[in-house]
Each structure stands twice: as C-alpha cells, then as structure tokens.
Amino acid sequence: MSDVRIPDGKISRRRVVQGAMWTAPAVLIATALPAAAGSLVNGTMTFATGYSLVRNPGTPATYTFTGLALQHTAGAQITNLSVTITSNVNEELTPVVTGTGWSLGTATANSFVFLYSGSIASGAVTPALGVTFTRANSGTGVAIFGVTATGNTNGGTGNATATIPPPINA
C-alpha cells in the first residue's frame, strides 16, 4: 500500500480510522473506573431508630440525648467517626458523655464533637452515644439541636455522613 500525502489541515479517511482505533480503548477504560472506584471508597451510615431527646425543665435545665447509635449500611469500614451536636442556646452547656467507646473531643459554647474510638464494619451498629447537657442558668428559651455524624472510609480517601433532620427541639 502506498503512502499518500495529504496537505496540512486536511482530514483523510485513514486518519479518522486511526483516531477512532486509538480513542476507543481510552473511552472504555475511563467509563469503567468511576463505578468500580466509588463502590469501594464510600460507606453509608444512618442514625439507628430509637434515639430521643428529653428536657428536664428544672433549675438548671438539662437536655438528655439517648440512643444515638450509627448503623453502617453498606460500603467500606468506617473509621475516625465523630458526632457533632450543635445548639442555638447562647450560654454555657456542660456535657456529660455515656456510651462505650465515646468521648468528648472538642467543645465550644454551642457546638460539641464526640469521638468514637472504634470503627464500624458494614452491617454493624455503634454502641449508643448518650449525652446530658446542663444549662449554665435556668434559661427560658427552647433549645434547638442539630446532630451530624461523619467518618472516613478506605484509609481516609472516602467519607460517610449521617444527619438527623432538624429541628430537634426540647
């Protein structure tokens, strides 16, 4: 077969076929990777049913969360698990933590991060986190709380989150 020269800027049928043969494998590889990678990296978790928030209106008022357990429903093992509880109360809240493996990580006037020392395998549930907050004074306003959980999967390259839809009032 003889080599036919085409002036610069012109397209030949031969060049179109060559280009198609080179790009087809790259397109197939590029479309196959994201689905496989996503199924290995991220985990899925939800708050298990049965959690509650109770307000004791005494002086000082207390708010008690019970049963905050996380259910790992699918995907890679979840590590570095934390639960953040925020409040609209603009006064000091003192938290007391219960639940195996849970501890207070960081705290500000209205945001508290609780850390879980273990990890969660797919299909498992964490021990329940329990927290009692005591208000610094009697306070008359309603406290509104937000609760979010986060964790890492696949050595920190993926993530998992769960949220209890607000508002959680007491």
DSSP state of 60: S
d(CA 105, CA 79): 15
Q: What angle do CA 53, 86, 88 make, to 5 degrees?
A: 90
Which tokens sit at 137? 């004074």
As a whole number of angstroms, the longest Cα–Cα distance in the chain is 97
What residues have CB less than 8 Å from 72, skipping those under 6 apart?
Answer: 43, 44, 45, 78, 120, 121, 122, 123, 124, 125, 160
Which CA distances in Å does 113 have to 73, 94, 146? 23, 13, 12
pTM to 2 decimals?
Answer: 0.70
11-67 confidence digits (pLDDT tens): 666 665 555 454 433 332 333 323 322 233 456 788 887 888 888 877 677 888 888
Do 149 and 70 meet the contact criterion of CB atoms below 8 Å apart?
yes
Q: What is the pLDDT of residue 97?
A: 93
Residue 115 has pLDDT above 80, yes or no: yes
| pLDDT tier for residue 116 given thresholds of 50, 70 and 90 | very high
Nearest alpha carbon to residue 89 among 52, 51, 60: 60
Q: What is the pLDDT of residue 4?
A: 52
132-163 confidence digits (pLDDT tens): 888 776 556 677 788 888 888 877 767 888 88
CATH code of 43-169, in short, is 2.60.40.740
